[in-house]
């Protein structure tokens, strides 16, 4: 538990939340500042700031719950689709330093964009740089 983490305070019951799912590893609740009707957050019960900090069991539980709840969230608000995503780190837009996934219901004509609309300027990378990046990722993942 982190004393200054709003999600830890929700997990401890100090801040009320509209809980939609709970098990031993995760809690899912409606976002207090939703991007759309039904916007749901999935958080591990243990405090971890970044995805890389998550133990395997917590990481698996978060991603499994995101996958399991996305269709339920979509159905509950009669959405046309959902975006499922995570902001990992301040530069990526993470506002609460506790790992959390978003399920954001989407509706035709809602004015939102695809995941590709997050970054407005895209790099024009030559093939040799793409090859170097791919090799670096493969090496780090081993």
Whether the per-residue pLDDT at 88 is higher than 90: the answer is yes
Q: Name the pTM for this structure.
A: 0.91
Q: Quick one: fold of 6-141?
A: HIT family, subunit A (3.30.428)
pLDDT band at 98 (very low <50, low <70, confident <90, very high): very high
In the prediction, which pLDDT does 39 show? 97
Residues designated as active site: 100
- Residue scoring higher pLDDT (121 or 101): 101
- Residue 101's DSSP bridge partners are 42, 86
Model pLDDT for residues 13-23, shown as the tens digit of each residue: 999 999 999 99
Q: Once rounded to an integer, what is the mean pLDDT over residues 27-32?
A: 96
The owner of tokens 């999935």 is: 42
The residue ranges of DSSP E strands in 10-136, in sequence order, are 19-22, 26-30, 40-44, 81-86, 101-106
Tell me if 82 sits within 8 A of 72, measured CB to CB.
no
Q: Which residues contact 28 (CB under 8 A, 6 or more apart)?
A: 19, 20, 21, 22, 40, 41, 42, 43, 65, 69
Whether the per-residue pLDDT at 1 is higher than 90: the answer is no
In the prediction, which pLDDT does 18 show? 97
Q: Where are the domains of the chain?
A: 6-141
Q: Once rounded to an integer, what is the mean pLDDT over residues 46-62?
A: 97
């Amino acid at each position: 538990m982190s004393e200054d983490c709003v999600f830890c305070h929700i997990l401890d019951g100090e801040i009320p939340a509209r809980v939609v799912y709970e098990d031993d590893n995760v809690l899912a609740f409606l976002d207090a500042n939703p991007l759309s009707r039904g916007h749901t957050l999935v958080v591990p019960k243990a405090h971890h700031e970044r995805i890389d900090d998550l133990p395997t069991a917590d990481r698996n539980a978060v991603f499994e719950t995101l996958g399991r709840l996305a269709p339920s969230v979509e159905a509950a608000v009669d959405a046309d689709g959902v975006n499922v995503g995570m902001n990992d780190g301040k530069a990526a837009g993470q506002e609460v330093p506790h790992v959390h996934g978003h399920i954001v219901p989407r509706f035709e004509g809602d004015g939102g964009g695809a995941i590709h609309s997050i970054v407005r300027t895209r790099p024009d990378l030559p093939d040799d740089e793409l090859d170097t990046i791919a090799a670096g990722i493969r090496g780090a993942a081993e």
